[in-house]
């Protein structure tokens, strides 16, 4: 799986949410600075070339849909982040979020309960 640019990732989130869409449908969903239609079309075609998106052709128009699931992408992204930023240590990752106060004691207890139930 090739790495996505920030804009490609934004488009994938829209496609995951919509499940299938024409370029004009994706354009409607972009909340911040909207790219030109042709620019967006190019980004989606790049996603197709990278294997993230497929399409159904209706004449000259294409309806796009995700080929890679959000869960598969999340797994790849998280594994890469943990490897590169936390020395392959989930403990280091959780410690980082605890130190940054991004995770509460209650959430940590919930995580421990999930781990204990799965063992």
**Domain co-membership, 15 together with 59:** yes
Say what the pTM is: 0.79
Residue 94 lies in a domain: yes
91 within 8 A of 99, measured Cβ to Cβ? no
2 within 8 A of 50, measured Cβ to Cβ? yes
Number of domains the chain contains: 2
**Which range marks the domain in which residue 107 is found?**
70-117
From its phi and psi, is residue 18 left (phi > 0), alpha (psi between -120 and 50) or beta? alpha
**Domain co-membership, 14 together with 55:** yes
* pLDDT of residue 42 exceeding 90: yes
**Domain co-membership, 79 together with 41:** no
3-state secondary structure of 57: strand
Split at pLDDT 50, 70, 90, the class of 13 is very high
67 within 8 A of 51, measured Cβ to Cβ? yes
Q: What stretches of 2-116 adopt beta strand conformation (E)?
A: 53-58, 61-66
β partners of residue 64: 21, 55
User: Looking at residue 56, what is its pLDDT?
Assistant: 97
pLDDT, tens digit, 9 for 90 and up, residues 51-60: 999 999 999 9
pLDDT, tens digit, 9 for 90 and up, residues 71-114: 999 998 888 889 999 999 988 988 888 888 888 889 889 988 98
Record the tokens describing residue 75, joined without a space. Answer: 């797994």
Residue 46 lies in a domain: yes
């Amino acid at each position: 799986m090739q790495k996505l640019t920030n804009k490609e990732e934004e488009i994938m989130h829209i496609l995951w949410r919509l499940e299938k869409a024409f370029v004009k449908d994706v354009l409607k969903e972009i909340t911040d600075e909207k790219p030109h239609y042709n620019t967006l079309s190019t980004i989606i075609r790049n996603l197709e070339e990278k294997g993230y998106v497929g399409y159904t052709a209706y004449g000259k128009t294409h309806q796009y849909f995700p080929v890679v699931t959000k869960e598969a992408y999340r797994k790849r992204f998280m594994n890469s982040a943990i490897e590169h930023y936390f020395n392959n240590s989930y403990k280091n990752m959780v410690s980082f979020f605890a130190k940054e106060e991004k995770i509460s004691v209650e959430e940590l207890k919930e995580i421990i309960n999930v781990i204990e139930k799965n063992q």
